[in-house]
Structure 1
Amino acid sequence: MPGLRLFRSLRHRNYRLYFLGQLVSLHGTWMQNLAQAWLVYRLTESSFMLGLVGFLSLAPVLLFGLLGGAVADHLPRRRLFVWAQALAALQALALGMLTLAGTIEVGHILLLATLLGLVHAIEIPARHALVAELVPRQDLPNAVALNSATFNLARSLGPVTAGWLVGLVGEGWVFVINAASFLFVIAALLRTDLADDRPAGLRRGGVLDGLRLAWRTDALRRPLLLVGAVALFANPYLVLMPVFAREVFGGAAEQLGLLVGAAGLGALLGALRLARREGTDGLEGMIGLAGLSLGAALLLFSRTPVLVLALPVLALVGFSLTSLVAATNTFLQLHAPDALRGRVMSLFSVIFIGLSPLGNLLAGSIAEGLGVRLTAAVLGLVVLAAAIGFRRAMRARP
């Protein structure tokens, strides 16, 4: 049955516990993302500061992500993930207490964003590699897709909820709610029956082994290069959403929530579409087509005049972006050797997440001079060019 095929990974108890914990925790994370963006823009009214906060929250992944992947291949992934979630909860609680006390300053936000980025450098490769331990290999593509669906369901609903709560009780309580949400995923992971030791075969090699493997393997290198272009020139569109909400569409936090939520809804649909796939054939073609539609959608959004028309276009942006990233994630998970999976996935994280802060900073700076509409158009054009190059390279291979 189609419904059973869509959720087949949930038959496995360990993955089911992880899935349910993430479902709660990720909603809190996306609520905090929106509340923090609105708080920064309220305090500074600067698109550059939005880009700087985004840069600092993810830059440590670029600097230390490969090290995080090596750690995930040498130490128990579940234990690493639990400790990382606990540290992220403390960061959210500190942000909430400062905001509720009325003493929050932009400097506090910059420091706490950097600390959270350091946590992400360890947590992200551990999380990607952990999924492969929760399900049998034949269900791994479905598990990766459902993981992406969970992320994007939260991305769709979390900002809408946060936009309403910010208007009702302010940003501080949103941060406190996020801190509490981490308890659910920690409790879920502690109930799994995974062993907290690593097989001896995974305790070998160095930090750069995943990089060497990907560079020498054409099938891995091509999608990773496209993901790099997406990280630099597509991901930053979210940083510009507070400016679009206020200056282009004349709204406030509620409208910002609708914009981010629309992109999240499209992303959720893209992840569910991938979860329904039975096999792995055609993943490369899906990656290339998703890149083309992503670039075209960003171009169209840059010229959309009113909010009601912008929402479906942003849904297409989210659909295309998630289709590309989730398909690449699945492709890499299937082609990475077990002993190097953490390091290969850390390379994916460094490229997709670690390069995003550079894109955030670049987009924020360009928007200061050219405006957000023209900036979004430039981003779309670059992504289109990268997708065309990927498809040509794929067709030219022997």
Structure 2
Amino acid sequence: MFSSLRVRNYRLFATGQVVSNTGTWMQRIAQDWLVLGLTGSSAAVGITTALQFLPMLLLGLYGGVIADRYPKRRLLLITQSAMGVTGLALAALTLSGHVQVWHVYLTALALGVVTVVDNPVRQAFVVEMVGPADLRNAVSLNSANFQSARLVGPAVAGALITAMGSGWAFLLNGLSFAAPIAGLLLMRTSELHKADRAPRGKGQLREGLRYVSGRPDLLWPIVLVGFIGTFGFNFPIWLTAFVNDVFHADAGTYGLLNTLMAAGSLAGALLAARRGTSRTRLLVGAAVLFGVLEIAAALAPGFWVFALLLVPIGMCGLTINVTANSSLQLASDPALRGRVMSLFMMVFMGGTPLGAPLVGWVTDVYGPRLGFLAGGLVSALAAACIGLVLVRAGGLRLRVDLRRGHRHVTFVPRPTAAPGAGRAEVGTSSVSTSEVGTSGVSTSSA
């Protein structure tokens, strides 16, 4: 479960990240609370969130080009420092009593612009620290790291805001970035796995898009994650609506529901760390189950049934994220990995400004249950359809065998498949994927 922590460079990275992630969650809570206090408007909180995610939607692919072109450790030193500065600037404005809502908007936008570069660089840097053998484990531990901070950060922020005010939460977040910066500086560069960098040139953005579009094993997982991220991950909208309109509870209940989901996500991350492979069938199966569980939660007859369903929903959501992340990294040409991961992050995170208003409108007009049900239905249908597409692309068919001692349900090659044809097998032990648009790099196991 913790095999990648044997690597010194990754230990330094993970230690720094757990500190800064806790600070980031503190700032998220304090930022929303500050905007609400300054304006009294939930819409203003929504604008802050949109400004933070909008740069990823508009500029995400350019971040991937930068990640492929320059040394990733050096880029991370710059981006982590910039994130720390935004926290310290907001702390200074808040503690001095001069903060206005447009200051928060500007800080959120600046943080979003830095994230455009930081996210793909951080994702692609993992394989340089641990190598391909431990990549999946490291990606899973990164997610566990983030979810652990999600359990601690909001609780600390709530106590700090109540006792001393939002400004101190911003100050601690700004200072928390000293930990990842120190970790990056202490790394032994000689122990990093060498990665090819893309030379400076024109058309690199289009090259990345062509590369992904010519690889079904990359394209369809990204499309699936896009649907899930846009329509299935709108939990702030659904949980607040259920707490207020269905269960008629208070903010403490909202915190409990978020904690249950975070606990499920943490468990999912640790379970993912134990797996040695990233199978496409696991990604599709987790996505289908994720949608079905959301539908079940939408129809839950009572509070505790609803609350307990959030734990497996969190586990499935995290499994989708980790499986897609690690399989895309392993299947990508190292010289194009940054662009592939930037596209992954763009559709996963950048879909929020697009899907949230639509999901919020459905929830407001037709009620929380129908809004949550619609998100689960879209997620389950998208997963089922993309699963069928991958089966057909892989030249496979479903075989049901009820005999004792045999696998009852499995995918096998179709008899009509042309010999030697490129295919992306789903749920099998190996993959022979078309090399269209690659640079002679074979893909990993699905």
CA distance in 1, matches of 2:238, 2:99: 22
User: Does 2:257 correspond to 1:262?
Assistant: no
In 1, the alpha carbon distance for the partners of 2:173 and 2:243 equals 23
Describe the shift of the 1:132–1:43 C-alpha distance in structure 2 as closer, same or farther (beyond 3 A).
same
Higher mean C-alpha displacement, 146-155 vs 318-327 = 146-155
**Residue of structure 2 aligned with 1:35, choices 26, 30, 36:** 30
Q: Against the structure 1 CA distance between its residues 360 and 163, is the aligned structure 2 distance closer, same or farther, given a 3 Å change threshold? A: farther
Correspondence for 1:55:
50
Alpha-carbon contact 2:64-2:120 (below 8 Å) kept: yes
Q: In the aligned structure 1, how far is the partner of 2:130 from the partner of 2:46?
A: 37
Aligned twin of 2:438: none
1-structure distance, mates of 2:162, 2:302: 22
Does the 8 Å contact 2:238/2:371 carry over to 1?
no
Instruction: Check 1:226–1:199 CA distance in 2 against 1; reply closer, same or farther (3 A cut).
Output: closer
Q: Mark the CA change 1:127 to 1:260 in structure 2 (over 3 Å): closer, same or farther.
A: same
| Structure 1 position 45, deviation (Å) | 5.5
Pick from 273, 291, 294: which aligns with 1:295?
291
Distance in structure 1 (CA, Å) of the matches to 2:162 and 2:366: 30
The aligned counterpart of 1:3 is none
Give the structure with the higher percent helix. Answer: 1
Deviation at 1:15, TM superposition (A): 0.6
The whole-number CA distance in structure 1 between the counterparts of 2:175 and 2:26 is 12
Answer yes or no: is the 8 Å Cα contact 1:55–1:361 preserved in 2: no
Of stretches 358-367 and 144-153 in structure 1, the one that deviates more from structure 2 is: 358-367
Letter in 2 for 1:332: L
Match of residue 375 from structure 1: 371
Give, in whole Å, the separation in 1 of the partners of 2:324 and 2:379.
16
User: Relative to structure 1, is the Cα distance of residues 231 and 384 closer, same or farther in structure 2, using a 3 angstrom cutoff?
Assistant: same
2:9 corresponds, among 2, 14, 22, to 14
SS at the partner of 1:279? coil
Which is worse superposed, 129-138 or 30-39?
30-39
SS state of the match for residue 187, structure 2?
coil
Separation of aligned partners in 1, 2:92 and 2:239: 26
- Partner residue of 1:86? 81
Matched, 1:172 2:172: no
Q: What's the counterpart of residue 355 of structure 2?
A: 359
Output one character per residue of 1:244-270: Cα deviation in whole Å (capped at 9) or x when no partner.
555555555544333222221111111
Change (3 A) 1:311 1:31: farther
Give the partner amino acid of 2:161.
V
The two structures have a TM-score, normalised by structure 1, of 0.89
- Partner of 1:278, secondary structure, is coil
**Percent same amino acid among aligned pairs?**
39
Letter in 2 for 1:65: G
Once residues 100 and 273 of structure 2 are traced to their aligned partners in structure 1, the CA distance between those partners, rounded to angstroms, is 42
1-structure distance, mates of 2:376, 2:42: 19
CA distance in 2, matches of 1:379, 1:125: 27
* Equivalent position of 2:211 in the other structure: 213
Separation in 2 of the partners of 1:112 and 1:194?
33
Which of these residues, 143, 146, 152, is aligned with residue 148 of structure 1? Answer: 143
For residues 284 and 84 of structure 2, the distance between their equivalents in structure 1, rounded to whole angstroms, comes to 37
Gaps of 5+ in 2: 396-446
State the number of aligned residues.
391
Distance in 2, Cα, partners of 1:73 & 1:299 = 40
User: Structure 2: which amino acid aligns with 1:86?
Assistant: S
- Alpha-carbon spacing, 1:246–1:194, altered in 2? closer, same or farther (3 Å): farther
CA distance in 2, matches of 1:239, 1:180: 31
Instruction: Measure, in 2, the Cα distance between the counterparts of 1:247 and 1:138.
Output: 48
Q: CA deviation at 1:276?
A: 0.1
Q: Is the 8 A contact 1:76 1:198 kept in 2?
A: no
How big is the shift at 1:204? 5.4
- Equivalent residue number for residue 420 of structure 2: none
Q: What RMSD over aligned residues (CA atoms) do the two structures have, in Å?
A: 2.5
Letter in 2 for 1:171: S
Bigger mean CA deviation after superposition, 349-358 or 121-130: 349-358
Q: TM-score, normalised by structure 2?
A: 0.80
Report the equivalent of 1:224.
Answer: 222
Return 12-21 or 144-153, whichever deviates more. 144-153
The one-letter amino acid of 1:297's match is L
Larger Rg: 2
Q: 2: distance between equivalents of 1:229 and 1:192? A: 37
Letter in 1 for 2:224: L
Going from structure 1 to structure 2, the CA distance change for 1:200 and 1:259 (only over 3 Å counts) comes to: closer
Give the CA deviation at 1:306: 6.0
Structure 1: tracts of 5 or more residues without a match: 1-5
Q: Distance in 1 between matches of 2:332 and 2:127?
A: 11
CA deviations 1:169-207 (Å, max 9, x no partner) are: 333322222112111111111111226998665325612
Following superposition of structure 1 onto structure 2, how do residues 66-77 of structure 1 map, counting pairs within 5 Å? 66-77=61-72
How far apart in 1 are the matches of 2:39 and 2:299? 26
- Provide the secondary structure at the position in 2 that maps to 1:112: helix
1:49-80 deviation digits (Å, cap 9, x = unpaired): 44332221111011111111111111111111
When residues 251 and 98 of structure 1 are mapped into structure 2, their CA distance, relative to the original with a 3 A threshold, is farther
Separation (CA, whole Å) in 2 of partners of 1:12 and 1:172: 37
* Structure 1 residues 76-124: Cα deviation after superposition (integer angstroms, max 9, x where no partner): 1111112111111122223333334444443332222111110100100
Letter in 2 for 1:135: V
Q: Does 1:112 align with 2:107?
A: yes
Pair 308,166 (structure 1): closer, same or farther in 2 beyond 3 Å: farther
Query: For residues 358 and 47 of structure 1, do their structure 2 counterparts lie closer, same or farther at Cα, with a shift above 3 Å needed?
Result: farther
> Structure 2 CA distance, aligned partners of 1:246 and 1:93?
34
Partner of 2:424: none
Q: Which residue of 1 aligns with 2:329?
A: 333
Q: Quick one: which of 381, 388, 392 aligns to 2:384?
A: 388
Q: Distance in 1 between matches of 2:36 and 2:366?
A: 18
- Cα distance in 2 for partners of 1:242, 1:169 equals 26
Q: Does the CA-based 8 Å contact 2:196-2:335 persist in structure 1? A: no
Q: Secondary structure at the match of 1:202?
A: coil
